[in-house]
């Protein structure tokens, strides 16, 4: 287990959190959702949506964003857009059981590809409407 390091005052974490807050407001994310930024990756970012808990931590590579601060707003908009796109996954509940429980490989990656395409479009919309 790694030792605990308080990063709440780290300027890069604060910029990441501000970008998440801006994207949440833009996309109209319900305030009940919690989206903490956690420095747990080597590079980039990834959101982990936990519907039952209204929790969607965004894991980031802190070193990456310290070296690439120009990527913060775009990447955080992309990750928050995944939270919007996650609503599409509810469609899966209405699928026939043979599709609903089939692996993504068995479905030909259709759902993942559709969500990634929608998320990228939402990210581009954010960046167009909220230029720096």
Per-residue model confidence as pLDDT tens digits over 109-131? 777 777 888 889 899 999 999 98
Quick one: three-class SS letters along 24-51?
Answer: HHHHCCCCCCECCEEECCCCCEEECCEH
pLDDT at 2 over 60: no
Per-residue model confidence (pLDDT) at position 1: 46
What domains appear along the chain, each with residue ranges and CATH number?
Answer: 11-127 (1.10.10)
pTM for the model stands at: 0.78
- What is the rounded CA–CA span in Å between residue 66 and residue 71? 10
The residue with greater pLDDT, 8 or 16, is 16
């Amino acid at each position: 287990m790694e030792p605990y390091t308080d990063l709440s005052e780290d300027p890069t974490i604060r910029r990441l959190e501000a970008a998440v807050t801006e994207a949440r407001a833009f996309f109209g994310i319900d305030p009940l959702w919690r989206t903490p930024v956690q420095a747990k990756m080597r590079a980039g970012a990834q959101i982990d949506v936990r519907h039952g808990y209204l929790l969607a931590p965004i894991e980031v590579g802190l070193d990456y964003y310290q070296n690439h601060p120009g990527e913060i707003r775009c990447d955080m908009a992309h990750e928050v857009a995944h939270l919007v796109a996650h609503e599409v996954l509810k469609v899966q509940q209405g699928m026939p059981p043979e599709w609903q429980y089939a692996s993504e490989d068995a479905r030909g990656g259709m759902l993942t590809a559709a969500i990634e395409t929608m998320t990228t479009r939402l990210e581009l919309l954010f960046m167009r409407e909220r230029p720096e």
